[in-house]
Amino acid sequence: MTDTELQLLKQQCQIVLPGHRMESPATNFRSMADWCEAHHIRDDLYGEGELIQRFEQKVAGMLGRPAGLFCVTGTMVQATVLRLACEQRRNPLVALHPTSHILVHERSNFQIHQDFIALLTGPPHRVWGTEDLSLHPEKPAAAQYELPMREIGGQLPDWGALDALKRYCRTQDIHLHMDGARLWEAACGYGKTLQEVAEGFDSVYVSFYKGIGAMGGAMLLGSTDLIAKARLSFQRQGGNLFRFTPYVVAAAMQFERRLAQMPACLERTRAIFRMLAQFPRFKPNPSSPQVNMLHIHLPVDKDHATAARNHIAAEHGIWLFNQAVHAALPGHSVFEWYVGDQATALSETELHRALSLLHQACETR
């Protein structure tokens, strides 16, 4: 099936398991217009304006950072901030986990632009910490840490281990940068405030289109000096839009509501883990819930899993997952499940039926 056909199939389903509900552009734009009218919003001009500055200050305050800078994409944010950290220390080395978003999804941008040199740190299937970083004979200028680590099922390091890593980087003058695309989920999983999680990091990147569900956009949080340098770098890269207003509005108008939903999403994730115990052919990663996302490993290959998803969508109106990929073991596959407001809106009976249909499809391969 083509991507367009798959989108139509998904839209026709009455039950969708992963993620937040996506409104149509017309509905979304009407909501944005109503919010702008109610709050007397005026456009920014190249990132200068009351709305965007107020939102930057708000998020910076919640994370305990001196300053924040709204940006178009996290791809631009992360490569830029790590390059700046390397330039400051005159050292091109950056510690990255093998599943870092920079390595897996950003098409080697840092190599093409010669921003820095990656030092692979830690084993690919578990979280890493101080011991892994200290094993390098060379001292890196910076280290990037993703919270939670998406490619291994949304795992979090133990809180004590994370605190030890923060202390180590501080004593070694290693710029510790957080890939906080899902920081909101991590804070809920830890049972900590955003400021408590961000404390000890030299810089933080957050996303507004994942857990927050906005149109796009990201933010870099850090010192005023770092933000000033990043602002200039974004301009040089073409990242300073004439109008940021639509992206900021889409994030700001639902920011607090989405944060308030995180505990319910986590609680539903815990219920899903309890339910998965009834389906022995499913293997969740991690083995117990840490944030409101997980990976489910299936005893069938990617093609069989995708065909089963499409059949169940067409016959039963249930969309189980967005994408399956080959797993390490032959004849196995894995898919990601972000537990958002679509899953929290379902009854346990509906969830059980959806999982039962997939379990049956795995038995009849």
Q: What is the DSSP string of 146-212?
A: ESSBGGGTSB---HHHHHHHHHHHHHTT-EEEEEETTHHHHHHHHT--HHHHHTT-SEEEEESSSSS
Q: Is 262 left (phi over 0), alpha (psi -120 to 50) or beta?
A: alpha
Percentage of residues in the chain having pLDDT higher than 90? 95
Structure tokens at 263: 């505990």
Under CATH, to which class is 41-253 assigned?
alpha beta
Residue 340, Cβ density class (10 Å: 0-12 exposed, 13-18 middle, ≥19 buried) = buried
Question: Number of C-alpha atoms within 13 angstroms, CB side, residue 107?
Answer: 2
Structure tokens at 148: 């939670």
Chain Cα centroid distance, residue 219? 13
Question: Does the structural domain 3-22+257-363 have CATH classification 3.20.20.70?
Answer: no
Q: Which residues have C-beta within 8 Å of that of residue 102, sequence separation ≥ 6?
A: 78, 79, 82, 96, 109, 110, 118, 144, 179
**Structure letter (DSSP) for residue 291:** B
| Amino acid type, 117 | I
Q: What is the pLDDT of residue 111?
A: 84
| Amino acid type, 311 | H
Chain Cα centroid distance, residue 231? 23
Question: Rounded mean pLDDT of the chain?
Answer: 95
**What does R_g of the chain's alpha carbons equal in angstroms?**
21
pLDDT tens digits along 35-91? 999 999 999 999 999 999 999 999 999 999 999 999 999 999 999 999 999 999 999
The pLDDT confidence band at residue 315, using thresholds 50, 70 and 90, is very high
Q: Which residues have C-beta within 8 Å of that of residue 205, sequence separation ≥ 6?
A: 74, 77, 78, 81, 177, 178, 179, 180, 181, 218, 219, 220, 221
Other CB atoms within 10 A of residue 12 CB: 11
**Greatest Cα pair distance in the chain:** 60
Q: What is the pLDDT of residue 101?
A: 93
Q: At what angle do helices 255-276 and 183-190 cross, to 10 degrees?
A: 60
Q: What is the mean pLDDT of residues 312-316?
A: 97
Percentage of residues in the chain having pLDDT higher than 70? 99
Q: What is the pLDDT of residue 312?
A: 97
Q: Rounded CA gap, 170 and 257, in Å?
A: 35
| Amino acid type, 128 | W
pLDDT tens digits along 203-255? 999 999 999 999 999 999 999 999 999 999 999 999 999 999 999 999 999 99
Q: Rounded CA gap, 15 and 313, in Å?
A: 9
Q: Rounded CA gap, 272 and 147, in Å?
A: 21
Which residue is it, tokens 């937040």?
20
Q: At what angle do helices 348-363 and 255-276 cross, to 10 degrees?
A: 50
Q: What is the mean pLDDT of residues 172-200?
A: 98
Within the chain, all domains assigned CATH 3.90.1150.10 are found at 3-22+257-363
Q: What is the pLDDT of residue 364?
A: 63
Q: Is pLDDT at 365 greater than 70 in this prediction?
A: no
Within the chain, all domains assigned CATH 3.40.640.10 are found at 41-253
pTM of structure: 0.95
